[in-house]
Chain A
Amino acid sequence: MNVQRHRLPNGLRIAVAPISGLRSVATLLAVEAGQWFEPAGRPGVARLCAQAMLRGTTKRDAKSWADALDAIGAAARLDVGSHAATFSAQSLAEDVGELLALMAEAVVTPAFAPKEVELVRQQTVAQLEEDSRNTRAVAEQVWRELVYPPAHPFHARPIGDPAVVRAATAEELRAYHQRAIRPDGAVLVVAGGIEAKRLFGEAERAFTEWSARGPREPRSVPSVSLGGTVRRIEIVPDKTQSDVVLGWPGLPRTDPRFVPARVTNMVFAADTFASRAGHVVRDELGLAYYVFSTLGTSRGQSPWTVRMGVNPINVERAVSVTLDELRKIVAGKVSEDDLELAQDKLVGELDVARESPGGVASLMLEGEVFELGPDHVERYPRELRAVTLDHVIETARAFLPPDRHALAIAGPPLPVAD
């Protein structure tokens, strides 16, 4: 993959992978303004700020900005995660200059007009109401509450806490924007039918006004650990299925044990068919339609969780067999074949992701955001291959103790045990 890089005077790092023969371009602008950067006790401010950035700038109102975006037919969205606020878009290659100008306008000069902030707030409150009856959302929130203390940035989901969302003001969002939405620490990753030189020129034009005031505030995410097993069941009325989140606090992406952890995750439960728990829960026992695990990427201990949708009568068994598979890994009862399958899948996926500009941009993003080195994309498959069985066993023992986990269940009441 031919990746070319450039850094603007304001600190914005740019990486571009030209792909000939494509008409479109995928663009990702990641600003290190996720949950970890939120003011203590103000969960939801980062997402509110990001959403308000899409509702008008100092140069044009929300309606005109939306008209301009749709006039180039771009598909765009702005998401906030534990680590970054990421503006992701796809446009025709010929429109990339206009797209970057619109992104820059929203990111650099948002208006935070009180009327628009109010609309974003009301929309968010409505989403929180809806989530209160959504078993997946409830299970995730309960799990976070079990693992992260109230002041921890990952205690709430990125959508935030209802009380904070209701109380946040336009001034608070403006202040957060000024502190967090900065070019230093931000990366612009582009892949598709465009030459690097042209892209660098367009990016320079678009983001030249973006500047940072003062040095970046130092940030660290408090560490957490589970003292024992904790579990909570939340009844959500009129549901048929239970959603289950079983998990542990993970590890920072910058931790040298992260790549072994990613392989361990695949061996354990990341995939329904290639992973041990997925295979047993769905394929052998037919207990769930979906079961998979994810390991979050951030500079802190993002969730490392197994999720599944299970009939209430099967919840205890599904959790039990999942933990049994984990116990086998911890006890060293894991084969070279399990490891090779996990590595083959993770490496093979990197090749398949190259089929789309969005896939290529996503491959590049992690290395750029966490500054994993200019050769990360080439080196990463070798790092995956270098993981040994001993690494997997050590990682599982260190991070996934089967008898010290957090379990959240949301849905109908569970049957009472005999």
Chain B
Amino acid sequence: MHALEARHAPVVSLWVWYQVGGRNEVPGTTGMSHFLEHMLFKGTPAHPKGDLDKLLARYGALWNAFTSEDVTCYFETVPKERYAVALELEADRMRNALISPEETEAERTVIVSEREGLENDPSFLLGEQLQRIAFSRHTYGQGVIGSKEEIKLMTRDGLYAHYRRHYAPNNAYFIVAGDASATELLDRAAAAFGPLEAEAPSEPPKAPEPPQYGEKRVIVRRAGGALPILQVGYHAPCASDPRAPALSMLAVALAGATAGGGETASGRSSRLYRALVDTGLATAVDASFQLMKDPYLFVVEAHLRSGVTHEQVERVILDELARTAREALSVDEFARTRRQMLSASAFMTDTITWRAFRFGQLLATGAASSLAEWYDRLAAVTAEEIRAAADAVFQEKSRVVGWFIPEAS
């Protein structure tokens, strides 16, 4: 358990990070962690279905949950005087969720609907395929939401067993930030979670991804999008790797600190924006290095303009990536990149919810043990370290390339 004081607003944000996600699933049960996340809102003996939703709604809470490849996370940001109730709700559902057969059936169609909504997005369809071909052994290749067929086959008993195995105090990080002393926040959390029983630790998945010895490619053809999309991924180190801060900076140097469409004004000095958007080859470009427990992917995604070919844009991207691996950023470019990265960190921690999120993310992925440590590591990155990280990651043989090709309807 970790607490952060944040005294600028009468609000408390609490987050529970369970160490279970898509990586803990096996073929046939893909999407189980995400399905389970939905079921945690369906009641406990003490708080029947609807209690949690209505209580949090009454508080005007900002609350939600998400599942990733690595974790399942629940959070509530509430007025300070409501903190105790939110804490009690989280502690209660850590061990006492009902996950009834009836509610499992009712929620199944909602999750299928969520999946179908994602399938409407060509970028999701391509990304799912890119992730699948990138990992031959590691469960990261399965993604998070699961296949529609497997969602339809998910059983209540399977979900419940998954829940009992992974939802326990010894398999979670609890982060709280807000308008009280850290001691008080921690004492209350200890009182809520302390009585809960630990579970026998579950074995982490053991399927390390072997090295890739040559580029892999995938094409998705559908009429569902009007414009072509290109994704270029490279196998990249995990969050605890010493190069992780430099790779985070590299993503900013390539495409800015905030992704966005035409309305976004920042990040336009980045290399790929200049090379693709300013030149009229693409409408948007993004580069991402995610903090993950195991080695994952550094991904560049570009949405092409009509009439522009994938080959053209791929060539430009590969040239720019090669340049970052060959030459260090100029003094001005490095200064802009550094400032964007450090400012983005400050913006995040000025919001209580995102301060707690960031801290939890750093802990859960092993990136750092505190916000200050991560900030200091980012601040210490040099232009040469960014170049060296690019050189290490941007290798042809560890590349995966995906094309979305729109078909005529």
Interface of A with B (CB < 8 Å)? Answer: 19-24, 51, 54, 62-63, 66-67, 69-79, 89-92, 106, 119-120, 122-127, 129-130, 132-135, 192-193, 236-241, 243, 271, 273-274, 282-290, 309-311, 314, 340-341, 344-352, 354-359, 411
> Which of the residues B7, B49, B111 comes within 8 Å of A21, measured between beta carbons?
B7
- B46-62 Cβ-contact flags toward A at 8 Å (1 or 0): 00011001101111111
What total of A-B pairs shows CB separation below 8 Å? 237
Contact check, B339 vs A345: say whether CB atoms are below 8 A apart.
Answer: no
Question: How many angstroms from the CA of A357 to the CA of B349 in the assembled complex?
Answer: 11
Given contacts A345-B60, A355-B353, contact A77 B336 (CB under 8 A): no
Tell me which of A77, A193, A289 contacts B114 (CB under 8 A): A289
B322 to chain A, nearest CB (A): 23
A-B CB proximity, top 6 nearest:
A348-B60, A73-B343, A274-B57, A356-B351, A237-B409, A66-B268
Whole-angstrom distance from the CB of A385 to the nearest CB of chain B?
Answer: 13
Contact across chains for A239 and B120 when beta carbons are under 8 A apart:
yes
Choice from B112, B280, B343 contacting A311 with Cβ under 8 Å:
B112
Contact between B280 and A192 (Cβ–Cβ < 8 Å)? no
Contact: B347 with A90, CB < 8 Å? yes
Q: Please tell me if the beta carbons of B60 and A346 are within 8 angstroms of each other in the complex.
A: yes
**Contact between chains at A348 and B263 (CB < 8 Å):** no
- Residue from the list A89, A239, A352 in contact with B224, Cβ < 8 A: A239
For A134, list chain B residues within 8 Å (CB): 120
Q: B227 and A130: CB pair below 8 A?
A: yes
User: Which residue from B113, B269, B339, B341 sits with its C-beta under 8 Å from A287?
Assistant: B113
The one of A77, A92, A241, A341 in contact with B58, judged by C-beta atoms closer than 8 angstroms, is A341
Residues of B within 8 A of A274 (CB): 53-54, 57-58
B366 within 8 A of partner (CB): no
Chain B interface mostly: mixed
Measured in the bound complex, the distance between the Cα atoms of B336 and A136 in whole Å is: 36
Complex interface: chain A residues within 8 A of B280 (CB): 119, 122
A358 contacts which chain B residues (CB < 8 A)? 351
Complex interface: chain A residues within 8 A of B54 (CB)? 273-274, 341
Q: Which of A133, A347, A352 contacts B226, CB < 8 Å?
A: A133
Stretch at the interface among B22-30, B157-165, B252-260, B312-320: B252-260
Name 9 interchain pairs, CB-CB below 8 A, sorted by A: A19-B9, A51-B262, A72-B339, A77-B264, A123-B262, A123-B277, A239-B119, A241-B120, A344-B60
Chain B minimum-CB-distance residue to A106: B265
Q: Is B19 an interface residue (CB 8 A)?
A: no
From A351, which residue of chain B is reached at the shortest CB distance? Answer: B79
Query: Separation in Å of the B76 CB from the closest CB of chain A?
Result: 10
Q: Which chain A residue shows the least CB distance to B260?
A: A77
Chain A residue with Cβ nearest B57: A274
B contact residues vs A (CB 8 Å cutoff): 6-11, 13, 49-50, 53-54, 56-62, 77-79, 106-114, 116-117, 119-120, 222-227, 256-258, 260-270, 274, 277-278, 280, 283, 303, 305-306, 332, 335-336, 339-344, 346-347, 349-354, 406-407, 409
Taking A123-B262, A286-B107 as contacts, is the C-beta distance between A130 and B353 under 8 angstroms? no
Tell me the complex Cα distance, A78–B261, Å.
11
Task: Give chain A residues whose Cβ lies under 8 Å from the Cβ of B350.
Answer: 22-24, 192-193, 356-357
Q: Give the distance to chain A from B367, nearest Cβ to Cβ, in Å.
A: 21
Contacts of A23 in B (CB 8 A): 346, 349-350
Q: Is B8 in contact with A77, judged by CB distance below 8 angstroms?
A: no
A74 to B340, CA, bound (A): 7
Per the bound structure, the CA–CA distance linking A359 and B10 in Å amounts to 13
Chain B residues whose CB sits within 8 angstroms of the CB of A125 once the complex forms? 306
Q: Is the CB of A127 within 8 A of B265?
A: no
B257 touches A344 (CB 8 A): no
Q: Which residues of B contact A271 (CB under 8 A)?
A: 57
Residue of A nearest to B11 (CB): A355
In Å, the complex CA distance between A338 and B269 comes to 50
A355 engages B224 (CB within 8 Å): no
Is there contact, CB below 8 Å, between A356 and B262?
no
Among candidates B60, B111, B267, B354, residue contacting A347 with C-beta atoms closer than 8 Å: B60
Complex Cα–Cα for A351 and B268 (A): 35
Contact B120 A135 (CB under 8 A): yes
Residues of B near A285 (CB, < 8 A) are 106
- Asked whether, in the complex, the Cβ of B60 is within 8 Å of the Cβ of A352, the reply is yes
A241 touches B117 (CB 8 A): yes
Asked whether B352 lies within 8 Å of A355 as measured between CB atoms, the reply is yes
- Tell me, rounded to whole Å, the shortest Cβ–Cβ distance linking B114 to chain A: 4
Residue among B109, B283, B354 making CB contact with A126, cutoff 8 Å: B283
Q: Which residues of B contact A127 (CB under 8 A)?
A: 261-262, 283
Minimum CB distance partner of B58 in chain A: A344
Q: How far is the CA of A277 from the CA of B143 in the complex (A)?
A: 32
* Cβ contact within 8 Å between A76 and B266: yes
Sample of 11 more A-B contacts, CB < 8 Å, known A77-B264, A119-B280, A355-B11: A21-B7, A51-B262, A76-B265, A120-B262, A240-B119, A241-B113, A273-B54, A350-B60, A351-B11, A355-B9, A355-B353
Minimum distance in angstroms from B107 CB to a CB of chain A: 6
Q: Do A240 and B120 contact each other (CB < 8 Å), given the known contacts A77-B263, A92-B346? A: yes
Q: How far is the CA of A314 from the CA of B223 in the complex (A)?
A: 23
B57 touches A67 (CB 8 A): no
> Do B58 and A19 touch across chains, with their CB atoms under 8 A apart?
no
Given A24-B346, A274-B53, A341-B58: A354 in contact with B339 (beta carbons within 8 A)? no
CB distance from A113 to the nearest CB of B (A): 13
Given contact pairs A287-B113, A341-B57, A355-B352, A241 touches B263 in the complex (Cβ within 8 A): no
Contact of B225 among A69, A133, A289, A341 (CB under 8 A): A133
Chain A residues near B258 (CB-CB < 8 A)? 75
Q: Which residues of B contact A72 (CB under 8 A)?
A: 339, 343
Are A287's CB and B336's CB within 8 A?
Answer: no
**In the bound complex, what is the Cα–Cα distance between A73 and B277 (angstroms)?**
20
Q: Establish whether residues B61 and A348, one from each chain, have CB atoms under 8 Å apart when the complex forms.
A: yes
A67 touches B336 (CB 8 A): yes
When distances are taken between beta carbons in the complex, the residues of chain A under 8 Å from B11 are 351-352, 354-355
Q: A22-B8, A24-B346, A70-B269 are in contact. Are A237 and B224 (CB under 8 A)?
A: yes
In angstroms, Cα B58 to Cα A351, docked, is 12
B222 contacts A238, C-beta separation under 8 Å: yes
Question: CB within 8 A of B8: which of A19, A124, A129, A132?
Answer: A19
Contacts A240-B116, A286-B108, A351-B11 hold; do A69 and B352 have CB atoms under 8 A apart? no
Q: Across the interface, which residues of A come within 8 angstroms of B226, CB to CB?
A: 129-130, 132-133
A73 and B117 form a contact (CB under 8 A): no
Report the bound CA distance from A309 to B119 in whole Å.
Answer: 12
B residues within 8 A CB of A193?
Answer: 350
By a CB distance below 8 angstroms, the chain A residues around B13 are: 355
Do A75 and B347 touch across chains, with their CB atoms under 8 A apart? Answer: yes
Knowing A73-B343, A241-B117, A289-B111 are in contact, say whether A78-B265 is a contact too (CB < 8 A): yes
List residues of chain B with CB within 8 A of the CB of A90.
347
| Chain A contacts for B62, CB-based, 8 A | 349, 352, 355
